[in-house]
Structure 1
Amino acid sequence: MNRVLPHLRRFWLEPAAPEGLAFLRIAVALISLVQLSILWPHLLELYGNFGLVQWVITDIGAGDWAPSLGWLGRMLAPLGIDTRVTLYAVFSLYTVGLVGLLVGYRTRVFALLAWFTHGLTSANAYLSLYGVDTILHVLCFYLVFAPSAGRWSLDARAGRVFTGPSSTARVALRTLQLHLCFIYLDTGLAKAQGLQWWNGEALWRALMQPQFQAFDFAWLASYPLLAKLACWGTLLIEVGYAGMVWVPRLRRHWLVATLLLHAGIAVCLRLWLFSLTMMAFNLAAFAWAWRSSEAPVREGPPEPAPDTALQGV
């Protein structure tokens, strides 16, 4: 234990710079705002009480314990507030939360607002949601606690937050890193259990679905080995991520392969928002730590403090 505890303490509590968390804050806010701008003209159809799926049905799927638009609408109905007003009010507050998160003003408060309002809307649209909504919701939750305002924020400019390396930033980064490892390991092992990911059929089916198809990949039927290699490569990247990303010599290569994987998903399947979210997740969790983790460790006495006359230059 005397040997393990120092390593655990360094792993979890060694001060880390907040740049990666600040980048994640900005990326999450921008991606969410872009998604919201796409959804805004269709809010009544996708989220409204009399849209494609009524609240009485979506509330059953959401469960009684989860706050939702339907739950809020029932609470405000006795006050004479129309459900459409409730809908647009929640999404307006969500927009305010994202803008506050983007500029880093009272960052934790606006992160909490964005996370809570996103949860209200997601509970009533679970039939139309996919991976990007889940990941964005999780990242908003992390940003409530993470010191993401330490860089590139109005809070930092006003002196309301600590801008130097901190143990809190290290804990937040480690949480992001471990969460990514669990995500890729779980999805990779789940895919490996299906025959389609071994014979190449999974890639063929995905590329040929009309709602995802960006290019004509019919020619791939003439090269089944190519489809198999692509599927095997996906399994290798995802299953191996949880281990290889911690190896200094392999980390950069594995992250680049993962980023290229998501870039391929964006281009070939048109899942741009999901791919950008996962790429930002990876960059914030690991890429910002490349230089610090790969820097050589100095041995011997600490360096003398610089001359005071040079401070501030």
Structure 2
Amino acid sequence: MPSRIAALLTLLVEQPISLYAAAVLRIGYGLLYLAFLLSEFPHRDEIWGPDSPWTPALARQLFDQTGWASVLTLSDSRAYFEVCYATALVISALFTVGWRTRAVSVLFAVVVTSFHARAIYMTDGGDNLILLMSLYLVFTACGRRWSLDARRSRLRASTAQAARPALDQAPGELRRHVREARLTVIAVLHNCGMLVIAAQVCFLYGSAGLYKVQGPSWGNGTALHYVLNLDLFRPWPALSRMADGHNLMLAVAGYVTVLLQVGFPFVLFGRLKYPVLTILLGMHLGIALLLGLPLFSGAMIVADAVFLPDRFYRYAGRLWRGTTRRAEVREAPGVVVGQAHTGAADGEPTLMSGHG
């Protein structure tokens, strides 16, 4: 046990873990919030603007009691609100593509917190989760992969390698120690942030499952029947009625939901997590379609991505590049697809060969 603890501490200190998962979280939540702001653009004034029923003055009175803060309440001017809204759209887009991620992640957290606090009574579970994740991602190195920052770092490294003289002098001792300390701090903050995100998702699923166990409707398998008959959660009434007609399927789905949520933290350290995450993906897609909660479902789907290892994302990246490369070969004029395939079999690295 002491050796395992020492190995865990060494892993937390030496290098950042799950960099691809952090990138997926950045892209996912950036896209979700950007889509959320764009979808509410026609109703922005009624929700967050000066003409909202929940006026800036009322919001400031609530802030005095709760300790919240929002940049949207600094002025009651309509022009100021429009500038803030346009700035929020730009920051969400920059956070998604990973431009100057270290600074933009802080601005993104300020944007999410400000809009969340401005209309606190208009939020739901998806907003709450995105708020928490935006704060956690500030401490992570979520711009190391699949970002403009990563592309710029690769170009800078290749340029520096080409311009480096044959005999390079070793850096100063103080400079080397400062660099090592900086890398250690970044690794520790990133790893702790990712562990907190994983723990947050586990607590979310576990508490939701234990809360369902206490209700009699989940015990007798009728909970989903009642949910599908709530007018507030029926964006497609005909689809809800069709799903409500399968009582046995709804009862099984309810029991599986509770079982997966309660047991979720206990299946994360084996291969069983892959089918569990797949079932949860289907469950969240069903919630988005049947109950009309796309923001909540999207936030949960993105959060589940933290439990997939980096090798999964590297494999997905190679698969995507191979698919796009084959599509380009097929669309290229004068290229015979069969000959291209034969050439790859004669020695060109392929996806199934195991080469990077």
What is the TM-score with the length of structure 2 in the denominator? 0.71
Instruction: Structure 1: state its 5+ residue gaps.
Output: 74-81, 293-312
Aligned to 2:55: 54
How many angstroms does 1:101 deviate by?
A: 0.8
Alignment check: 8 A CA contact 1:26 1:101 kept: yes
The answer to whether the 8 Å contact 1:98/1:111 transfers is no
Residue correspondence of structure 1 range 260-271 to structure 2 within 5 A: 260-271=282-293
The 5-angstrom pairing of residues 1-313 of structure 1 reads 2-9=2-9, 12-13=12-13, 15=15, 16-62=17-63, 63=65, 65-68=67-70, 71-73=73-75, 82-159=76-153, 167-168=187-188, 169-213=190-234, 214=236, 215-218=238-241, 223-246=246-269, 248-283=270-305, 285-289=306-310, 291=312
Return the letter of the residue paired with 1:242: P
CA contact (8 A) 2:206 2:263 kept: yes
Mapped partners of 1:95, 1:174: distance in 2:
29
CA distance in 1, matches of 2:72, 2:303: 31
> Do the aligned partners of residues 10 and 289 (structure 1) sit closer, same or farther apart at CA in structure 2, a change above 3 Å counting?
farther
Instruction: Single out whichever of 91-100 and 57-66 deviates more from structure 2.
Output: 57-66
Q: How many residues align?
A: 282
Amino acid at match of 2:261: E
- CA drift of 1:49 comes to 3.1
State the Cα deviation string for residues 280-308 of structure 1 (Å, max 9, x = none). 1111x11234659xxxxxxxxxxxxxxxx
Could you report, residue by residue, the CA deviation over 1:126-179 in whole angstroms, capped at 9, with x for unpaired residues?
Answer: 1111111111112211221110111122222222999x9x84444333222211
Alpha-carbon distance in structure 2 between the residues aligned to 1:71 and 1:181: 34
2: distance between equivalents of 1:116 and 1:175?
A: 19
Instruction: For 1:221 and 1:158, locate their aligned partners in 2 and report how far apart those are by CA, in whole Å.
Output: 52
- Look at both structures and tell me which one has the larger radius of gyration over its CA atoms: 2
Counterpart code for 1:245: L
Q: CA deviation at 1:182?
A: 0.9
Distance in 1 of aligned mates of 2:18 and 2:248: 45
Shift of 1:192: 1.6
Write the deviation string for residues 175-225 of structure 1: whole angstroms up to 9, x where unpaired. 222111111111111122122222233212221223322244346666544
Residue 57 of structure 1: how far off its partner (Å): 3.3
CA deviations over 1:32-70 (Å, ceiling 9, x no partner) = 111110111111111123323223334444435211256
Q: Counterpart amino acid of 2:224?
A: L
1:231 deviation in Å? 1.4
What is the distance in 1 between the residues matched to 2:71 and 2:193?
A: 30
Identity of aligned residues (%): 27
In terms of mean alpha carbon deviation, does 82-91 or 135-144 score higher? Answer: 82-91
How many Å separate the matches in 2 of 1:95 and 1:108? 18
Deviations 1:240-262 (A, max 9, x none): 1111122x131112111211211
